[in-house]
Amino acid sequence: MRWLLLKDLQILRRSPLQAILLVAYPVLIALLVGFAISRDPDKPRVAFLNEVPQGARIATGGTKLPSVGVDDRICGAVECVHVGSRAEAVDEVRSGDVLAALILPEDLVDRLNSLSTLDPQTPEVEVILNEEDPVKAQLVDDRIDSLLAQANLLVARRIASEGGRYLGLVVDGGAFDVLGEPIRILGLRTSASILRALRPALSPGPLRASLDRVIDFASLARDNLDVAQPLIDRLTQPIVVDKQVVSEPTPPLDVFAIAVAATLSLAFVTVLLVAGSLALEREENAFPRLTRGLVSQSALLGEKVGLGIAVGLGVTLLMLAGVQPFVSLDWSRFGLWLAAILAGAAALGAAGAALGAAAREVRAVSLLAFMLTLPIALLSLIPSGAVGGAAYDGIRLVTVLFPFEPALQAMTAALDPAGPGIGGPLLHLAVLAVAYGLLARLALRRFAVV
Amino acid sequence: MAGTATAALEARKLVKRYGDREALKRVDLEVHAGELMAVIGPNGAGKTTLLSILAGILRPDEGEVRSPNGDVGWVPQQAALYRRLTVEENLLLFARLERHPDPRDSVEEMLELTGLGDRRREVVARLSGGNQQRINIAIGLLARPVALLLDEPSVGLDPRQRARLWSFVSALAERGTTVIFSTHDIQEAERYGQRLLVLADGEDLFDGTPEELRAAVRSEAPEAASSDIETAFVAFLQHRGH
C-alpha cells in the first residue's frame, strides 16, 4: 500500500498546478481569515452636514444643557465625509463616494427645545441613501437607526436628569436661576419642618387642623416625589435585556471562524483528492490490473483514504500555522487538533472514496465533489431559527449524513478550551467513516466491469 | 484438443451470460508453453470476455480455467499505465507491487526487453502509442507469467509501431512465454499467430493453425478460396451461420 501512496504523491507532485493549489489554498484561506478576524469591520462612509448653529443647546426650563458632542459621536460610528451643503451631500451620495448622507437641519435644537413647550414640534434629521447595493444600504440603514436610537436615548437622559434636578429642588429646596437671577427654593422638606415648628403656637381649633392638613400634604408629597426620581430615570430606558444562554457555550467568534476555515480546507482537499485519485485509477485503466491480485479493493480504498488523511492533515496544519500570526492559538491542545483533523479527514476521505467510486470519471468526480461539499458546508453553518422548522429539519438531516458538520464540531471543540467535549463529534465521524467506506466498497464493484 | 502435462493454460466449457445474452457458449481452450495463439472474430464475438475470464478479471457462469504451471499475465487493450509517471517509475511501482526481491533489477530487465532504456526518465504521456503498449506489455510480464494475454494490442498503432510490437511479442514467445492475443484483424492473426481460435457470437468455430484455417475455408467456402484471407474468412463465417 505504501508504494501506491508514494505513486499518488509522485503524481500529485507532477501536477504543479494541483500541488500549488494544495499549498496556496490553505495559506490564502489562513491569510483571509486572519485579516478578517483581526480587523474591525470598516465603517461605512457617510457624508455629514451639521447645520445646527454653533452654541445651540438643548434647554429645559430655560436652562441650557451641556453639549453632547454630536459630531464626535456620529463620526465615531461612521466614517464622516464633511460636506458644506445639502446639494454637495446629495452629489456625494449619487456619485457612490459615500453610502449615505446625514443632515442635521438648522432648526433641530429649536424643535427639540419645543418639546417642553405648549407647541411641540417633531425634531427631524435627514438621511439620503444610495440603495444601489442593497446589502450596503441595509448596513447604513442599521447604523443610522442605531445612531438615532442612541441620540434619542441621550437626549431623554439629559432631560430626565434635568427634570430630576428640578424635582430635587421641589423636595429638598436649593438655589435656582431664572433669567440670570438666583432664586432660593424652600422645598417641601423644609416647608414641612417650618410648619411643624409653628404648629405648637396655634391653639387647637380649625386653624390648627388646616395647618395639620398642609403638613401632611407636604410630607406626603416629599415622600412620593422621592420615588419619582428613579421612575423618571427608568422612563429613558424602560426595558433592559436580561440575556440567558440555554445552549452549550458558544465558541468565541475568532475560534469559530478558524474552525470553519480549517474544516472547509480539510473538506475540499480530502474529498476532491480521494475522489479524484480513485477515479484516476479507472481513467488510467489501472484499476483492473491493480486489483487482479496485486492489491485488494479494500486495501486500495484504504490507501486512497490514507492519502486524503495525509494531505488533509498537512494542509490543515499549514492553515492553522498561517492563522497563528493573527490569532493566538492554544498549541497545548495540539493532540486534540490532531484527533479532530484525523477523524474528520478519515470520514471526509471515505465520503470522497464513495463519490469517486460512484462517479468513476475524474472530471465528473471533481464537479460532483464541489457540488456536494460547498452547499453542504454552507447548510451546516445555518443556525437554528434562521429558517422554518421543517426546512431546518431537512437541513439537519442532510448535514448529519455528511461529515462536514461533525468535522466542524470536532475542530471547534479542539480549538476552544471552554467549548463542549470532542467525544461526540469524533464518534459521529467514526460512524460516517465506516458507513461511507462500505458504500465505496459496494460502488467499487462497478469499477471492475471491463 | 486433449489436455497434456505441458499445457500452460486450459479452459473448459466456458459460459458467460450478460442477462439473456450468452457472450460465451461452452468455449474450450488449451495453449502450450511458447505458443502464440490469436483469438479472432468480428466485434462482439466474445474475444475480450474470453481473455478477461482467462485473466481472472471476470468470473465465468460455467466452466473452469486452469494455469497449472504459474500465473497468467494480462495486458488490457488500453494501456494501463500512469501517464504522469516516467517509464521507470511505472515499471518500478508494478515490480514492487509484484513483490520482486530486487525490483530495480526487474526494471532494468524490462527496459532492456522493451528497448526503452534510453527513455526511462520520460513521462509515459509523452511516449508514442506503440511505446506505451510496450511498457504496458512489460508490466504484464513483471508477474513472470507462464502465459500472457494481450487484448487487441495493436489497436491504434501505425504500421511501423505495429511491426515493432509484433517483433517484441514474437521474441517473448521464442523465450518460452505463451502468448494469447485477441484481434479482429485476420491478416495480423494469420501473420503472427501460430494457432488461431475463431470466435463468433460467443461460439468457438475453429481452433487450429493458419494453414488449417485456409484449408477449412477452401472446403467450406470454395467460392472464396482464391480471395484474400479477409474475404475468405468472412465467407467462412457466413457458411457457419454468422
Contact predicate B107/B88, CB 8 Å: yes
A288/B123 CB distance under 8 A? no
Nearest Cα residue in chain A from B90: A7
CA distance, residue B124 to nearest chain A CA (Å)? 11
List the one residue out of A329, A304, A317 whose CA is nearest residue A417. A329
Question: Which single residue is written with the C-alpha cell 400634604?
Answer: A217
Chain B residue numbers touching A4 (CB-CB < 8 A): 93, 97
A286/B93 CB distance under 8 A? no
Over residues B145-170, the pLDDT tens digits come to 889 999 988 887 788 778 888 888 88
Nearest Cα residue in chain B from A449: B58
C-alpha cell at A98: 459615500
A7/B93 CB distance under 8 A? yes
Q: B179: which strand partners? A: B36, B148
Q: What is the C-alpha separation between A15 and B83, in angstroms, rounded?
A: 11
Question: How many A/B residue pairs have CB atoms within 8 Å?
Answer: 58
Q: What is the C-alpha separation between A402 and A369, in angstroms, rounded?
A: 12
- Mention every residue, 6+ apart, whose C-beta is less than 8 A from residue A409: A420, A424, A425, A428
Give the model's pLDDT for residue A413. Answer: 92
Give the model's pLDDT for residue B1. Answer: 44
CA distance, residue B101 to nearest chain A CA (Å)? 15
Q: What is the DSSP string of A200-214?
A: GGSPSSHHHHHHHHH
Question: If chain A, 450 residues long, is cut into consecutive pieces of 10 residues, what is the mean pLDDT of each piece?
Answer: 89 80 74 68 80 79 65 81 92 86 88 76 84 70 77 77 80 77 83 88 87 88 77 72 69 83 89 91 88 89 94 90 83 93 96 89 85 87 77 88 94 87 94 95 74
Cα distances (angstroms) measured from residue B218 to each of A77, B187, B192, B209, B228 = 102, 17, 21, 14, 12
Q: CB atoms < 10 A from the CB of B122, how many?
A: 14
B80/A293 CB distance under 8 A? no
A294/B123 CB distance under 8 A? no
A295/B97 CB distance under 8 A? yes
Contact predicate A365/A356, CB 8 Å: yes
Q: What is the C-alpha separation between B150 and B136, in angstroms, rounded?
A: 10
> Where does the pLDDT of residue B3 fall: very low under 50, low under 70, confident under 90, or very high at 90 and above?
very low
SS3 A413: helix
Nearest Cα residue in chain B from A289: B80
Chain B residue numbers touching A13 (CB-CB < 8 A): none
B82/A450 CB distance under 8 A? no
A404-415 and A334-359 helices cross at what angle (nearest 10)?
Answer: 170
Q: What is the mean pLDDT of residues B106-121?
A: 88
Q: What is the C-alpha separation between A16 and A9, in angstroms, rounded?
A: 12
Q: b vs e for B172-182, b when ≥16 Cβ sit within 10 Å of the residue's Cβ?
A: bbeeebbbbbb
> Is the interface score ipTM higher than 0.85?
no
A interface toward B at CB cutoff 8 Å?
Answer: 3-4, 6-7, 10-11, 14-15, 284-286, 288-290, 292-295, 448, 450
Partner A contacted by B176 (CB < 8 A): no
List the one residue out of A172, A122, A170 whose CA is nearest residue A148. A122
SS3 A303: helix
At A223, which amino acid appears?
Answer: D
Partner A contacted by B139 (CB < 8 A): yes
Q: What is the C-alpha separation between B201 and B231, in angstroms, rounded?
A: 19
Contact predicate A444/A354, CB 8 Å: no
Of B52, B79, B93, the CB nearest to A450: B52
Contact predicate A354/A443, CB 8 Å: yes
Q: What is the C-alpha separation between A431 and A437, in angstroms, rounded?
A: 10
Give the model's pLDDT for residue A312. Answer: 93
Q: What is the C-alpha separation between A446 and A444, in angstroms, rounded?
A: 5
Give the model's pLDDT for residue B4. Answer: 47
- Angle, alpha carbons B131-B132-B134 (nearest 5°): 60
B56/A293 CB distance under 8 A? yes
Q: What is the C-alpha separation between B155 and B43, in angstroms, rounded?
A: 13
Q: What is the C-alpha separation between B229 and A48, in angstroms, rounded?
A: 96
A3/B93 CB distance under 8 A? yes
A285/B78 CB distance under 8 A? yes
Q: What is the C-alpha separation between B196 and B206, in angstroms, rounded?
A: 7
SS3 A252: coil
Chain B residue numbers touching A6 (CB-CB < 8 A): 93
Q: What is the C-alpha separation between A227 and A212, in angstroms, rounded?
A: 23
CA distance, residue B83 to nearest chain A CA (Å)? 7
B98/A294 CB distance under 8 A? yes
Q: What is the C-alpha separation between A87 and A51, in angstroms, rounded?
A: 13
Give the model's pLDDT for residue A338. Answer: 95
SS3 A182: strand
Task: Report the 3 state secondary structure along chain B.
Answer: CCCCCCEEEEEEEEEEEECCEEEEEEEEEEEECCCEEEEECCCCCCHHHHHHHHHCCCCCCEEEEECCCCCEEEECCCCCCCCCCEHHHHHHHHHHHCCCCCHHHHHHHHHHHHCCHHHCCCEHHHCCHHHHHHHHHHHHHCCCCCEEEEECCCCCCCHHHHHHHHHHHHHHHHCCCEEEEEECCHHHHHHHCCEEEEEECCEEEEEECHHHHHHHHHHHCHHHCCCCHHHHHHHHHHHCCC
Chain A residue numbers touching B182 (CB-CB < 8 A): none
CA A355, chain centre distance (Å): 35
C-alpha cell at B53: 475470464
Q: What is the C-alpha separation between A263 and A316, in angstroms, rounded?
A: 8
B97/A4 CB distance under 8 A? yes
Task: Report the 3 state secondary structure along B18-38.
Answer: ECCEEEEEEEEEEEECCCEEE
Cα distances (angstroms) measured from residue B104 to each of B99, B136, B145 = 11, 17, 19
A362-380 and A334-359 helices cross at what angle (nearest 10)?
Answer: 130
CA distance, residue B77 to nearest chain A CA (Å)? 9
Chain B residue numbers touching A7 (CB-CB < 8 A): 82, 85, 89, 93
CA distance, residue A389 to nearest chain B CA (Å)? 48
Q: CB atoms < 10 A from the CB of A183, how many?
A: 11
CA distance, residue B18 to nearest chain A CA (Å)? 12
Nearest Cα residue in chain A from B92: A3
CA atoms within 13 A on the CB side of B30: 9
Q: What is the C-alpha separation between A25 and A267, in angstroms, rounded?
A: 12
Question: Which ranges of A39-133 would DSSP assign to H, the alpha helix?
Answer: 70-77, 86-95, 108-114
Contact predicate B7/B31, CB 8 Å: yes
Worst-scoring range by mean pLDDT, A186-190, A411-415, B41-45, B225-229?
A: B225-229
B93/A14 CB distance under 8 A? no
Chain B residue numbers touching A3 (CB-CB < 8 A): 93, 96-97
B48/A450 CB distance under 8 A? yes
A11/B84 CB distance under 8 A? yes
**B186 burial class (0-12, 13-18, 19+ CB within 10 angstroms)?**
buried
Q: What is the C-alpha separation between B53 and B51, in angstroms, rounded?
A: 5
C-alpha cell at A103: 443632515
A10/B85 CB distance under 8 A? yes
Between residues 77 and 96 of chain B, which touch chain A (CB distance below 8 Å)?
78-85, 89, 93-94, 96
C-alpha cell at A388: 422554518
A14/B123 CB distance under 8 A? yes
List the one residue out of A177, A126, A174 whose CA is nearest residue A148. A126
Chain B residue numbers touching A10 (CB-CB < 8 A): 84-85, 89
Nearest Cα residue in chain B from A12: B84
Domains (range + CATH), chain A:
13-38+254-447 (no CATH), 45-172 (3.40.1710)
Domains (range + CATH), chain B:
1-71+146-242 (3.40.50.300), 79-144 (no CATH)
By DSSP bridging, strand B62-66 and strand B36-40 are: unpaired
Over residues B52-86, the pLDDT tens digits come to 999 888 899 999 999 888 888 888 888 889 999 99
A423-447 and A297-323 helices cross at what angle (nearest 10)?
Answer: 140
Partner A contacted by B155 (CB < 8 A): no
